[in-house]
Amino acid sequence: MKPKILIIDDEPYARQAIEMLLMKEAYELFFAEDAHEALAQLDDEIPDVILSDVMMPNMDGFELCQRIKRNPKWSHVPIILVTALDSKQDLARGLEAGADDFLHKPINGLELRARVRSMLRIKLRHDELQAALQMRQDLANMIVHDIRSPLSTILIYCDLLEAELDGGSMQTLETIRGEANRLSSFLTDMLMMAKMEHGRLMLSQSLVDVNELATAVCNSYEPIARLKEIDLALDLPEETKKISLDANLWRRVLDNLVSNAVKFSPTGGNITLRVRYDGSGVASSNGSSPHLNVQVIDEGPGIAPEHYETIFDKFKIVATGRRDVKQVGLGLAFCKMVVEAHNGRISVDANQPRGSIFTVEI
């Protein structure tokens, strides 16, 4: 397939000159008389390289360059600005607009062909990298789906064994079931993150009773907490309010936060899942009154202050003060994505004298 070159210039002779200089190259050339025509063409077909004049009526090459680079569909296309301007200020303005290279008028044919080839090499490497990343993502998604089948089998056999084991073995079975459920939750997070579009999760919002959701989460983790002799408590306001949320994603956020609290809390520790509406009883960290404030408070080893931000990064491994457990950041990264998709904020602070307080404000 021939590389596609879009040439934008309001002067017919300038377009013809570039066409003549590139005639012997195996390129498919497209032309636009101004920036608006170029943008219309980009909607139909994305070129491999754009050659644009700077001095054009209505919209100059700098503004056109900015518009192209702001659009995720076109931002990867290399742009060569063709200009008679040669001041450092003009070059700096072009670079700030997102230009990848420059050609000065009058155009030299040898230089034009060399710069176009250079931009095509960059575009080719970008395309190859994107294809490799997509292949890796597809493979990861396939592996995640395939893991679900044996994991489901493990959980089914746990249920079958429950009726046949004595009390001493039941604790071992509960541990197996708990770890299998944690792995299942981890896979769910990976699948949901894979379904993101342009860095944001697509929400399916409805009015949700957060009190009911918090109660359901606590009930699901109560058996595991009881095995570790952890007191898992609910602190809910008497009057509930329905909030516009994606119920499935929000359940996963609470699952992740409570699961981490149970995992890191010591035997005999205390965990509290607290819900407040309109900021009542809990002050927002930014001084305003959040519509919804949820906290998960534990007495685990805590998070070092230098990790308060990085702990929400993808795949970050943060020391937690326990040798037997490390914090893998995928679950918390997922929480951050969900909360920010709801225009909210998630943060962590120290719990005195020991532990962490994870706070979600929406």
Residue 175 domain flag? no
Residue 356 domain flag? yes
In the chain, the percentage of residues whose pLDDT exceeds 90 is 40
Check: CB of residue 194 under 8 Å from CB of residue 137. yes
Q: Is the pLDDT of residue 204 over 70?
A: yes
Residue 159 domain flag? no
Residue 257 domain flag? yes
pLDDT band, residue 179 (cuts 50/70/90): confident
Q: In 3-state terms, what secondary structure has residue 136?
A: helix
What pLDDT score was predicted for residue 156?
A: 84
Per-residue pLDDT tens for 231-289? 999 999 988 888 889 888 898 899 889 988 988 888 889 999 999 987 544 444 444 44
> Does residue 356 share a domain with residue 208?
yes
What pLDDT score was predicted for residue 284?
A: 42
Average pLDDT on 179-191 reads 74
Which CATH number fits the domain that encloses residue 330?
A: 3.30.565.10
Lowest mean pLDDT among 182-196, 217-231, 263-277: 182-196
> Does residue 225 share a domain with residue 102?
no
Look at residues 44, 77, 107 and tell me which one is the last residue of a structural domain: 107
What pLDDT score was predicted for residue 200?
A: 59
Lowest mean pLDDT among 2-11, 108-117, 224-233, 300-309: 300-309
Which CATH number fits the domain that encloses residue 35?
A: 3.40.50.2300
135 or 31, which is more confident: 31
Lowest mean pLDDT among 91-95, 144-148, 195-199, 219-223: 195-199
Domain housing 16: 4-107
Per-residue pLDDT tens for 57-75? 989 999 999 999 999 889 9
> Does residue 235 share a domain with residue 339?
yes
In whole numbers, what is the pLDDT of the chain averaged over residues? Answer: 84
Axis-axis angle for helices 330-341, 167-194 (nearest 10) = 50
Q: Is the pLDDT of residue 348 over 70?
A: yes
Residue 99 domain flag? yes
Residue 10 domain flag? yes
What pLDDT score was predicted for residue 203?
A: 79
What counts of helices (H) and strands (E) characterise the chain? 9, 14
**Around Cβ 107, how many Cβ atoms within 10 Å?**
16
pLDDT band, residue 150 (cuts 50/70/90): confident
Q: Is the pLDDT of residue 190 over 80?
A: no
Total of domains in the chain: 2
Lowest mean pLDDT among 33-37, 152-156, 288-292, 344-348: 288-292
Residue 334 domain flag? yes
From residue 92, give the alpha-carbon distance in Å to each of 24, 52, 80, 99, 274.
Answer: 33, 16, 14, 10, 53
Q: What is the pTM of this model?
A: 0.52
Report the alpha-carbon distance of residue 360 to residue 362 in Å, rounded. 7
What pLDDT score was predicted for residue 53?
A: 93
Residue 348 domain flag? yes
